[in-house]
Amino acid sequence: MPLREIVISSKNWKEFDKTKIYLTDNLYKIFSKRKIQGRPFLTELRRGRAIKALKHLVIVIKQKNKKNKIILTDKKTKIDNTDHYINQEDYWRHTRRIYAPYYRETGLIAAQGFLATNFPNKYKRPEEKLSQRVLEKVEDDWSFVFQEFTKKLKNKREAIRETSDMIRELREEKIKLKKEKEETEKEIEQLQKESRVFLYTERLREFKERLGKDLPETKGKNFWQKWIYDNNWLFGIHYQKPIQKEKVGFDSFPDYLFPTLDGFLDIIEIKRPKYKAIGRDQKHANSFVWSSDTNKSIGQVITYITEIELNQLQLKKRINQKYGEVYESKIYTIKPRAFILIGTSDNWKGAEREAFRKLNYSLHGIEVITYTDLYKKGEKIIKMYTD
């Protein structure tokens, strides 16, 4: 395994100034990209500043045997003869937990404790010189304890510098964690998007297959109503949990009401693809009218809308009673909207499309959609997610 040599140059390291440590090639590459307050991590490492309690780790290992070699790695901590492979992340976590920068001995305790945990046959566990009571006191009254400790230190400036370094590193770690969280959230969002594209593509393929079969409207296996209700994303609207007719208890109601994300109600009336949406007006040339099946559906949804508006308050009360806190937003029963899915428009020419547009425009709060148009909506939704 190739190693990269790092020479520590720092007067604070005293007799251990110019000590050589080593990085595995992969860790060296990781450190090459890292910065501390805008300064290259490796530059700070050569000054003995980048890794907290690194000096103490060197002291403990070198005092054991001057020939011992310290190798920082991103792999497992281990000893191979005199080579000490130290997992940098593990050591950082260990020292961060118990290291108090204004109390020098704690650094040695941290280093020796880490080595004793990983190599119990070679290193003894240190006697902790900081009691739990002292550590708690530090947490409770930072300024007072810092003042008391610095009275006993010869170099107050060094204590302040080390404390500043710790605070800076904690801040940098917080920024790093925040960045990692944001990156993870982006990755999750991307996975969700990719999963949704895959799911929608499969559903659209299934939709195309269904259009080639003569499937029932509301009875038997694979009937259209259930499939469309389960795949209402095709309408390009995000719906909340559907409201069942049985739970709100009105006779002249559709089987399901679909609440939008902002709480308004939609009705989706399903007719079979084989029914015609429009037909030629036999009394007027080049004119089109709604087919008898579409007319019946329009009459049916008008009844639904009228019933909902007549029973607004009662319906709202029953929805709250049966569904409680299910919905993200308040449910509004005013001015429900209806979609009628019927027929196909694959072979329509310009005249039929214009007539269909005009006929739809004459309706209020009701829109007739063909299965062909619904399929195209699905394609656009998938393209939007893919793009």
**What is the C-alpha radius of gyration for the chain, rounded to an integer number of angstroms?**
36
Diameter of the chain by CA atoms? 108
What is the DSSP-derived secondary structure letter of residue 119?
-
Nearest residue to 115 via CA among 82, 86, 92, 81? 86
Residues in contact with 64: Cβ distance below 8 Å, sequence separation at least 6, in sequence order:
122, 123
Residues in contact with 345: Cβ distance below 8 Å, sequence separation at least 6, in sequence order:
277, 352, 353, 356, 370, 372, 373
Q: What is the pLDDT of residue 326?
A: 72
Please list the pLDDT of the chain residue by residue as tens digits (387 residues): 689 999 999 888 888 889 999 999 999 999 999 888 788 999 989 988 888 788 889 999 999 999 999 999 999 999 999 999 999 988 887 776 554 444 445 566 667 777 888 888 888 776 544 455 444 544 444 555 455 555 555 555 666 666 666 667 667 777 777 777 777 777 777 766 677 788 888 999 999 999 999 999 988 778 999 999 999 999 988 888 888 877 776 767 788 889 998 889 999 999 999 999 999 988 887 889 999 999 999 999 999 999 888 888 888 888 888 787 777 678 888 899 999 999 999 999 999 999 999 999 999 899 999 999 999 999 998 888 777
For residue 234, how many C-alpha atoms fall within 13 Å in the half-sphere facing its CB? 26
Q: What is the pLDDT of residue 130?
A: 46
Nearest residue to 87 via CA among 96, 78, 95? 78
Q: What is the pLDDT of residue 97?
A: 54
Burial of 12 (0-12, 13-18, 19+ CB in 10 A): middle
> What is the three-class DSSP state of 89?
helix
Q: What is the pLDDT of residue 360?
A: 94
Q: What is the pLDDT of residue 160?
A: 63
Residue 368 to residue 366: CA distance in whole angstroms: 7
Domain ranges (residues) in the chain: 3-182, 212-386
Residue 69 to residue 22: CA distance in whole angstroms: 8
Residue 209 to residue 230: CA distance in whole angstroms: 16
CB neighbours of residue 310 within 10 Å:
12
Residue 40, phi then psi, degrees to nearest 5: -60, 135
Residues in contact with 106: Cβ distance below 8 Å, sequence separation at least 6, in sequence order:
98, 99, 100, 129, 130
- Give whole-number Cα distances, 387 to 182, 194, 231, 380, in Å: 21, 11, 21, 10
Q: What is the pLDDT of residue 351?
A: 93
Residue 381 to residue 122: CA distance in whole angstroms: 64
pTM above 0.75, yes or no: no
